[in-house]
Amino acid sequence: MRGRGARSAGGAGAAVRAGGDRRGGVPGAPGRPDRGARRGRGEAVTAAARVEGAVKEYGAGETRVRALDGVSVEFAAARFTAVMGPSGSGKSTLMHCAAGLDTLSGGRAWLGETELSGLGDRELTLLRRERIGFVFQAFNLLPTLTVRENITLPLDLGGAAPDREWLDALIDVVGLGDRLRHRPSQLSGGQQQRVAVARALAGRPQVVFADEPTGNLDSRSGGEVLGLLRSAVDTMRQSVVMVTHDPAAAGYADTVLFLADGRLVDTMQQPTAERVLDRMKAFDGRRGTAAAR
């Protein structure tokens, strides 16, 4: 996986900012602008999604496990947020509850100004379809459909006509304009995941939740997908929340949230892969010391 300090010729995510801080672009997309230029310095950062006092428990009695233990956090709009933590830290549970894929045992969750706990199953289904994009480790493309058909599938299922101008811009950013008639089997793993990202963005969602999106990819393909997510934030003002265990992947984000034992334990702004790795090592050291006591 490529971090911000690395560069690979010809790959998406090869844009280099002055000073050597590379955050990734994609074919046909401009380089990443300065943070102050991308958002006015006095402009308020609103929340695309948030949770307050989030508690999630599984099981009952002696087998009860608390996956989330009073987490309160906001995922900023038009920003790229990464959620990190060791296995069992609750990072995927947090994403699933924030996205309405799972329900909280306690606390509250909002998408924009919509509180999720007040919605029924049908309302949650419509909310996820119309206002959220999802990218998972598995590509989940339909093998009988073309690239274009896979990208527009959520819109087709919802009976909505695609915004042609947005779709054309999205296809240009994804960099697969010459493969729109291809089937998934004719694409590399990285290309398939880029199609999955484009599908998540096709409906102009309020937020995109990505759960280990590079987990099945080699480092070059993973860098291309991360560059695409970065560019979606920078050039299309999308909101992205990504769960990852990879410091290099987290280095593409604006903010990194660190979870441990179901709790939010730290936050990092303007991360680099090296800083994230050092922070994770520090957490591991403290956990090891505590376990030895």
Q: Residues 227-270: pLDDT tens digits?
A: 999 999 998 899 999 999 999 999 999 999 999 999 999 999 99
Q: What is the pLDDT of residue 77?
A: 96
Q: Is residue 33 part of a domain?
A: no
Q: Is residue 270 part of a domain?
A: yes
Beta bridge partners of 246: none
Q: How far apart are CA 139 and CA 257, in angstroms?
A: 25
Q: Is residue 3 part of a domain?
A: no
Which residues constitute the domain of residue 151? 45-292
**How big is the chain by its Cα radius of gyration, in Å?**
19
At 2-11, the pLDDT tens digits run 444 433 333 3
Say if residues 194 and 225 touch (Cβ distance below 8 Å).
Answer: yes
172: Cβ contacts below 8 Å, ≥ 6 apart: 28, 29
Q: Which residues of 277-289 are buried (b: 16+ CB within 10 A; e: fewer)?
A: bebbeebeeeeee
Q: Which residues of 85-124 are buried (b: 16+ CB within 10 A; e: fewer)?
A: beeebbbbbbbbbbbbbbebeebebbbbeeebeebeeeeb
In this prediction, residue 159 has a pLDDT band, given cuts at 50, 70 and 90, of confident
Q: Is residue 161 part of a domain?
A: yes
Q: Is residue 17 part of a domain?
A: no
pTM recorded for the entire structure: 0.81
Q: Is residue 7 part of a domain?
A: no
Q: Is residue 6 part of a domain?
A: no
- Output the six-digit token pair for 208: 């995109």
In this prediction, residue 287 has a pLDDT band, given cuts at 50, 70 and 90, of low
Residue 289 pLDDT exceeds 80: no
Total domains present in the chain: 1
Domain CATH for 67: 3.40.50.300
Q: Is residue 263 part of a domain?
A: yes
Q: How far apart are CA 151 and CA 148, in angstroms?
A: 5
